[in-house]
């Protein structure tokens, strides 16, 4: 097993870091671009493997769409193929074929798509077998499982002959990602409304435009965490905007309570250390991808905190709640379910001199535990998992003064 070793570094200098482009914005922009037949000028697309997979599959247009481990790519291409009369087989890695997709397929079938499962009902692989006519212009879909199911349908909705009204049932999770999708659609000329739990997209055409993808707030979160955990330092992160479409910009508000002050400048955001104010509860319903990063931060700075809104974490690249519990235990910390749906972070104690972190084929596990290098020497197993969203992550660690060393 390959391991990358991070030396202990608890004092940072005044560091300027580039950031990767937003994978979330990039993948949505690519689907919209395909729906306008590539007439747009889109710049600063993400280098993430998920995005590069999307680019390749849209360009090559093969009969079998192998998305590898890219959940967003699977969901977006399923809706794109199904509602645009494309006959495709969609598959991926073994883990990808364990991730449920039934809610999306049911919605697409209700609209009129013909889709068949090739294995277990409700899971990839699957085959889109045509779209003869729109059967309804109003559907219901659960709002508490994955916003990507909702976004996948929405981006295709304007090209449906009758448009589409979508009622979200139950608790709406990751609402900011749904709003991001609608705002991106608006940037390409499509009007919509989102009032309470009802989204309406009239039938209309996308308009070719120019669009520059913002830097990635999810990627920024690891550097907020590193500074919160370090004894000294100042970081500047390039390419972030104050009027971001990304829900993970919530990291600013969270980290303000955990010892990091943020100030926007013309070309990005400057982070400085500040006293920890403390925070007793964080709801991750609309920013679940921040949960691992913040859990590690709280554990390392000694901040007990109750987390809610973690429902979707069990169906990500791995069961992220289980993975966090296993790895936090290695630093005598914990994530304990104190009541149904409420998880409490137990601060770390007696951190070993050297800690090896298992990554569970999950890019965010590798990056979330990087700030542990402020307390101990850290071994990151299978470090290449970061390629899924942030291929230059380890190079950026070196820029921050944490020089990764190849292990076994």
For residues 307-315, average pLDDT: 86
Angle at 64 (CA atoms; ends 213, 125), nearest 5 degrees: 95
**CATH 3.65.10.10 residue window(s) in the chain:** 3-20+215-406, 23-212
> What pTM value is reported for the model?
0.85
Strands 3-6 and 113-117, bridge-based pairing: unpaired
Q: Which residues contact 94 (CB under 8 A, 6 or more apart)?
A: none
- What integer pLDDT is reported at residue 317 of this predicted model? 74
What is the spatial distance between Cα 44 and Cα 105, in angstroms, rounded to a whole number? Answer: 31
Which CATH superfamily does the domain covering 3-20+215-406 fall into? Enolpyruvate transferase domain (3.65.10.10)
pLDDT tens-digit readout, 133-181: 999 999 999 998 889 999 999 999 999 999 999 999 998 988 999 999 9
* Helix residue ranges per DSSP H, 145-262: 147-156, 175-187, 217-229, 251-257
Of 401, 248, 354, 371, nearest to 3 (Cα)?
A: 354
* Spacing of C-alpha 338 from chain mean position: 26
What phi and psi, each to the nearest 5 degrees, are found at residue 193? -130, 145
Of 221, 261, 225, 217, nearest to 243 (Cα)?
A: 217
pLDDT tens-digit readout, 273-301: 999 999 999 999 989 999 999 999 999 99
pLDDT tier at 408, thresholds 50, 70, 90: low
Tokens of 350: 């007696």
Catalytic residues: 289
In Å, what is the CA distance from 380 to each residue of 175, 350, 358, 371, 400? 32, 20, 7, 12, 17
Q: Sign (positive/negative) of CA torsion 93, 384, 296, 222?
A: negative
- What integer pLDDT is reported at residue 407 of this predicted model? 67
Say what percent of the chain tops pLDDT 70: 100
At the top level of CATH, which class does the domain 23-212 belong to? Answer: alpha beta
- What integer pLDDT is reported at residue 145 of this predicted model? 82
* Spacing of C-alpha 401 from chain mean position: 26
- What integer pLDDT is reported at residue 339 of this predicted model? 82
Of 206, 267, 219, nearest to 35 (Cα)?
A: 206
Question: pLDDT at residue 316 above 80?
Answer: no
Strands 198-201 and 164-169, bridge-based pairing: antiparallel
Say what percent of the chain tops pLDDT 90: 92
For tokens 């294995």, the residue is 119
* Spacing of C-alpha 406 from chain mean position: 27
Return the bridge partners of 168, or none.
141
Question: pLDDT at residue 216 above 80?
Answer: yes
Of all residues in the chain, what percent are helix, strand and coil, respectively (each to 5)? 40, 25, 35
Question: pLDDT at residue 310 above 80?
Answer: yes
Strands 164-169 and 193-195, bridge-based pairing: unpaired
Q: Report helix, strand or coil for 384.
A: helix
For residues 314-335, average pLDDT: 92
What is the spatial distance between Cα 21 and Cα 359, in angstroms, rounded to a whole number? Answer: 23
């Amino acid at each position: 097993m390959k391991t990358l070793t991070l030396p202990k570094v608890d004092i940072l200098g005044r560091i300027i870091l580039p950031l990767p482009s937003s994978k979330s914005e990039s993948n949505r922009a690519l689907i919209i671009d395909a729906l306008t037949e590539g007439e747009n000028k889109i710049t600063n697309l993400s280098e993430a493997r998920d995005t590069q997979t999307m680019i390749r599959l849209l360009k090559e247009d093969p009969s079998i769409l192998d998305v590898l481990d890219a959940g967003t790519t699977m969901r977006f291409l399923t809706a794109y193929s199904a509602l645009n009369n494309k006959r495709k087989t969609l598959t991926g890695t073994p883990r990808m074929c364990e991730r449920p997709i039934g809610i999306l397929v049911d919605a697409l079938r209700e609209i009129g798509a013909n889709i068949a499962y090739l294995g277990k009902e409700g899971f990839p692989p699957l085959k889109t077998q045509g779209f003869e006519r729109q059967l309804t212009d109003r559907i219901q879909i659960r709002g508490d499982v994955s916003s990507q199911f909702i976004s996948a349908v929405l981006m295709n909705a304007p090209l449906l002959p009758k448009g589409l009204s979508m009622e979200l049932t139950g608790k709406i999770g990751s609402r900011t990602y749904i709003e991001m999708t609608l705002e991106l659609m608006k940037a390409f000329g499509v009007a919509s409304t989102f009032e309470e739990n009802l989204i309406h997209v009239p039938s209309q055409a996308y308009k070719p435009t120019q669009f520059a993808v913002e830097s990635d707030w999810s990627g920024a979160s690891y550097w907020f965490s590193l500074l919160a955990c370090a004894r000294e330092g100042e970081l500047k992160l390039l390419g972030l905007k104050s009027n971001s479409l990304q829900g993970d910009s919530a990291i600013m508000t969270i980290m303000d309570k955990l010892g990091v002050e943020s100030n926007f400048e013309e070309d990005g955001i400057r982070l400085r250390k500040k006293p920890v104010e403390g925070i007793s509860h964080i709801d991750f319903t609309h920013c679940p991808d921040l949960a691992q990063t913040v859990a590690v931060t709280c554990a390392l700075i000694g901040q007990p905190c109750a987390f809610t809104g973690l429902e979707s974490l069990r169906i990500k690249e791995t069961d992220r709640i289980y993975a966090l519990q296993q790895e936090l235990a290695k630093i005598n910390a914990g994530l304990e379910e104190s009541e149904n749906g409420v998880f409490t972070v137990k601060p770390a104690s007696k951190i070993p001199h050297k800690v090896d972190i298992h990554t569970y084929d999950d890019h965010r596990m590798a990056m979330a535990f990087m700030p542990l290098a402020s307390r101990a020497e850290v071994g990151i197993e299978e470090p290449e998992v970061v390629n899924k969203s942030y291929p230059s992550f380890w190079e950026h660690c070196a820029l921050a003064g944490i020089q990764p060393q190849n292990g076994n």
